[in-house]
Amino acid sequence: MDTTRIPFGHVTGAVESSSDPGEIAAFALAVNDDDPRYQDGRAVPPTYAVVPGLQPFLASVLRPDHEALTGGRGAGHGETDLYIHRPLRPGTVLRTTAEVGSAVTNRGGLNLFSRVASVDEAGDLVYEHFWSVMYLGEVTGGDRGRPMADHTFPEEARSRRVGSLVLATTADQTFRYAGASGDRAVIHVDDRAARPMTGDRGKFLQGLCTLGIASRALVALAAGGEPHRIRRIAVRFARYAFPGDEIAVGVYDAGPADGGRHAFAFEAESGGQTVLRHGRVEVDPA
pLDDT in tens, 22-47: 999 999 999 999 999 999 999 999 99
Q: What is the band of 146 on the pLDDT scale with cuts at 50, 70, 90?
A: very high
The pTM assigned to this predicted structure is 0.96
pLDDT over 80 (residue 75): no
pLDDT in tens, 163-203: 999 999 999 999 999 999 999 999 999 999 999 999 889 99
Helices (H), the chain: 21-30, 36-39, 50-60, 173-181, 186-189, 191-198, 207-222
CA dihedral for 101, 103, 104, 110, sign (positive or negative): positive
Q: What is the band of 275 on the pLDDT scale with cuts at 50, 70, 90?
A: very high
d(CA 231, CA 95): 20
**What DSSP string runs through 7-27?**
-TTPPPPPEEE---HHHHHHH
Query: Mean pLDDT over residues 141-170, rounded?
Result: 97
pLDDT over 80 (residue 74): no
pLDDT in tens, 226-246: 999 999 999 999 999 999 999
Query: Mean pLDDT over residues 198-223, rounded?
Result: 96
3-state secondary structure of 66: coil
